[in-house]
Amino acid sequence: ESQLNPNYSFENFLEGDSNRLARSAGLAVAAKPGGTSFNPLLIFGGVGLGKTHLAHAIGVDIKDKYPEKTVLYISAEKFTQQYIDSVKKNNRNDFIHFYQLIDVLIIDDVQFLSGKTGTQDVFFHIFNHLHQNGKQVILTSDKAPVDMQDIEQRLLSRFKWGLSAELQNPDFETRVSILKNKLYRDGVDMPDDIIDYVAKNIKSNVRELEGAIISLIAQSSFNKKEITLDLARVIVEKFVKNTKREVSIDYIQKVVSDYFQMDIDTLQSKTRKRHIVQARQLAMFFAKKFTKASLASIGSQIGKRDHATVLHACKTVDNLSSTDKQFRKYVEDISKKLSV
Ligand code: ADP
Ligand code: MG
């Protein structure tokens, strides 16, 4: 049992600037598994950007071209569980042997191996055996190897042997084509302005992009309502609200101080210099807007100020952004940086 999902094919994996390198590397590996310098092929990127899909697509394509090859897809979590079971049952060697016989091994979300030294050790041996025998290894991770934490150095250096290819946030055009492809496959008609609206507003996660379209279709069919822009607005808003990661006050201070090219200590300092005061007030304003923290807590985290200072900052930002064009641009720029 290869555990491959045939729906996760290359055909269904729409190409764009954000994934071109990873997708082409995947195609190259599928054409000649174990026979390219992309071994291992490591696909990395944020949540919902298509790592699992692409990893499956490579496996599905290999199985198609080389039916005699054994291809196995497994999540790092399941791999770890199997390893732990094998130790309990005293058949660690059988476990290793089983994996050493595979032609194409795909392990998803290897960041899960962080800190799990036993599993890392066994994987190291399996990896070496496969690699030496010209077998293909495909890995996915939420981070590039250089940013991985608590993974043994010798394993990290193996990860870097082949190619690390990043999946980035898809641009607007790619988001639109992903949605159109999905609607086409599901046999659903949707007006272009609605597709554009959804693609414009959900930017950083393909899973959420598809999720919004699915609930839009469901809402309209349950309630026998037409799919309108108004309905799309309501759903996208809920989606963006529910799934938006809570930005932290630390993160806001970092974004604001980066924007004004100062460090966080300066932003928090007691100085009365106008541009620093304004930066600090903006940080407070966005902390109020984007977090659930109280005024008092915002004040204490941004340079140990009291709640009245934060309240004053929020009012000042409101006033200035309606009277001062330059200031309004600051607000808009920072707002954008915080909401992608
Ligand atoms: P990840 O493993 O990176 O979290 P997934 O592979 O689970 O992401 O992808 C999330 C969803 O987005 C899946 O339904 C997948 O089919 C879809 N998806 C991601 N990228 C693309 C793409 N380029 N074309 C079509 N669908 C995509
Ligand atoms: Mg995944």
Which two three-digit tokens encode residue 270? 């007691």
Residues near ion ligand 2 (CB < 5 Å) are 51-52
Question: Do 78 and 155 belong to one domain?
Answer: yes
> Residue 141: what are its φ and ψ, rounded to 5°?
-160, 155
10: tokens are: 């290359």
State the pLDDT at residue 51: 98
Residue 284: give its domain's CATH number: 1.10.1750.10
**Rounded distance from Cα 51 to ligand 1 centre (Å):** 7
Reported residue count of the chain is 340
pLDDT at res. 147:
86
In this structure, are 36 and 134 located in the same domain? yes
Residues spanned by the domain of 186 = 172-243
Question: Which residues are paired to 73 by β-bridges?
Answer: 106
Q: State residue 340's pLDDT score.
A: 57
Per DSSP, 304 falls in state S
Residues with CB under 6 A from ligand 1: 12-14, 19, 45, 47-53, 178, 206-207, 210
Strand partners, 74: 107
Q: Which atom of ligand 1 is nearest to the CA of 8?
A: 16
| Signed CA dihedral, 231, 232, 238, 242: sign only | positive
pLDDT averaged per 10 residues in sequence order, the chain, 340 residues: 92 96 98 97 95 98 97 97 97 97 98 95 98 98 90 95 96 96 92 95 91 90 85 86 70 94 94 94 94 90 94 96 94 86
Here the CATH number for the domain that contains residue 148 is 3.40.50.300
Q: Quick one: 125 and 179 in the same domain?
A: no
ipTM: 0.99
CATH of the domain at 197: 1.10.8.60
Q: Tell how far the Cα of 22 is from the centroid of ligand 1, in angstroms.
A: 13
11 in any annotated domain: no
Shortest-distance ligand to the CA of residue 9: 1
The whole-angstrom separation of Cα 237 and Cα 34 is 46
Instruction: Indicate whether 279 belongs to any domain.
Output: yes
How many angstroms does the Cα of residue 50 sit away from the middle of ligand 2? 7
Q: Six-digit token pair at 101?
A: 């016989």
DSSP single-letter state for residue 189? -
Residue 14 placed within a domain: no
Ligand 1 probe mutation, 54, 174, 207, most atoms within 8 A of CB = 207
Q: Are residues 161 and 46 in the same domain?
A: yes
User: CA-to-CA distance for 240 and 178, rounded, in angstroms?
Assistant: 18
In the chain, the number of structural domains is 3
At 245 the pLDDT is: 57
Q: How far is the CA of 178 from the centre of ligand 1 (A)?
A: 9
Q: Are residues 117 and 24 in the same domain?
A: yes
For a mutational test of ligand 1's pocket, the pick from 7, 15, 49, 53, i.e. the residue with the most ligand atoms closer than 8 A to its C-beta, is: 53
* E strands, the chain, in order: 41-45, 71-75, 104-108, 136-141, 163-167
Clarify whether residues 190 and 103 are in a common domain: no
Examine residue 73 and state whether it is found in any structural domain, yes or no.
Answer: yes
The ligand that comes nearest to the alpha carbon of residue 178 is: 1
Q: To which residue do tokens 């092929």 refer?
A: 41
Distance 90 CA to ligand 1 centre (A): 38
Q: Which of 147, 167, 187 corresponds to the end of one domain?
A: 167
> Rounded CA gap, 196 and 291, in Å?
29
Same domain, 46 and 85: yes
What is the number of other CB atoms lying within 10 angstroms of the CB of residue 124?
14
Residues 46 and 93 in one domain: yes
Q: Helices 192-201 and 172-186: crossing angle, nearest 10°?
A: 130
Residues 284 and 302 both lie in one domain: yes
Token code pair at residue 131 = 């690699």
- Residues β-bridged to residue 71: 104
Q: Which two tokens stand for residue 166?
A: 């990043």
C-alpha dist (Å) from residue 198 to 167, 189, 335:
21, 15, 19
- CA end-to-end span of the chain: 40
Q: Are residues 159 and 26 in the same domain?
A: yes
Mutate to test the pocket of ligand 1, among 4, 206, 208 (most ligand atoms within 8 A of CB): 206
- Residue 340 to residue 338: CA distance in whole angstroms: 6
What stretches of 167-228 show up as alpha helix (H) in DSSP? 172-186, 192-201, 206-222
pLDDT at 241: 67
DSSP letter at 149? Answer: -
87 and 201 inside one domain: no
Q: Does 15 map to a domain?
A: no
In a domain, 6, yes or no: no
Query: Does a structural domain hold residue 197?
Result: yes
Distance CA 299, CA 47 (A): 32
Ligand nearest to the CA of 75: 2
Q: What distance in angstroms lies between residue 321's CA and the mean position of ligand 2's atoms?
A: 41
